[in-house]
Amino acid sequence: MSGADSPGALPVLLPPFGLGASLRRIGALVRRYMYLLRSSGIRLIELIYWPFLQMLTWGFLQKYLAGTTSPLVQAAGVLIGAVLLWDILFRSKIGFSTTFIEEMWSRNLGNLLTSPLRPFELVAALSAWSVIRLAVSMIPVACAAYFIFGFNLLDLGIALVAFFVLLVLTSWSLGLLSAGVILRYGLGAEELAWSLAFILLPLSCVYYPVSVLPDWLKPIALALPPTHVFEGMRSILLHGVFNVNELWWALGLNAIYLTVGYLAFRWFLQSARVNGTLLQLGE
């Protein structure tokens, strides 16, 4: 007779599995992050402050350049559109990474990962929360761009939904990679959470077309999903043409990078568990 069947033995309680149980755990973690945001007005202001400042800076530059003779800069909203779309990627990436780092700052990551919460549920909660943070920061800024500069992001039409999804997917792959590196090397590598997206900025052709890059850099730029998003945006705003091929390229590349990012995160997490460093992560 096994120990579990012997008289007086305590029953072995297994964590609930299934889609419903996973959704409850993900929802509980998202609610936790929501309570943290609600409890700090400074956090809420910070979410809006930086994208608003960016929009004002580039918006006034766009207004100044509109008086020149260049047809490129005269196209309404090219710079403002690029800024707003870039902020979608950057803010979603920061939302994912900073939430993960805050779990490490509070030394709560070990508690979460010794609970029934599974790694993919943690990733799903971080991803969902990054989109919520993104909405909180970008909706007021997009409205301000319309009232101050007359630029309506909705003019991109159905392409805006595709651009939004593709840039968010890219941000998640970057967030997974930076979270994995921080798990491996500790909080000393947290600078990667802020700088990784900026490494892509000059190669993603946010403010200029791929054609201005030297020939040896063009294949690298075209291997990045955001490049195709910003090329697609310029095609709509400058020529009124929705280039579906650019979106398919971005979607395929995102699928590759998301898979690699998640596998890297799982590998770094498993390595931290095996080495016993999960509860000792620090500088």
The pair of structure tokens assigned to 186 is: 């500790």
**In contact, 26 and 121? CB cutoff 8 Å:** yes
Q: What is the pLDDT, as a whole number, of residue 72?
A: 54
Taken as a whole, the chain contains a residue count of 283
**In contact, 142 and 40? CB cutoff 8 Å:** no
Q: What is the pLDDT, as a whole number, of residue 109?
A: 80
Of the candidates 174, 17, 187, which has an alpha carbon nearest to the alpha carbon of residue 109?
187
Q: What is the pLDDT, as a whole number, of residue 200?
A: 86
Q: What is the pLDDT, as a whole number, of residue 217?
A: 92
| Series of mean pLDDT values for 10-residue runs along the chain (283 residues) | 49 62 89 84 80 84 67 63 87 88 82 82 92 89 86 78 91 90 77 79 88 92 94 84 89 95 90 70 54
Q: What is the pLDDT, as a whole number, of residue 252?
A: 95
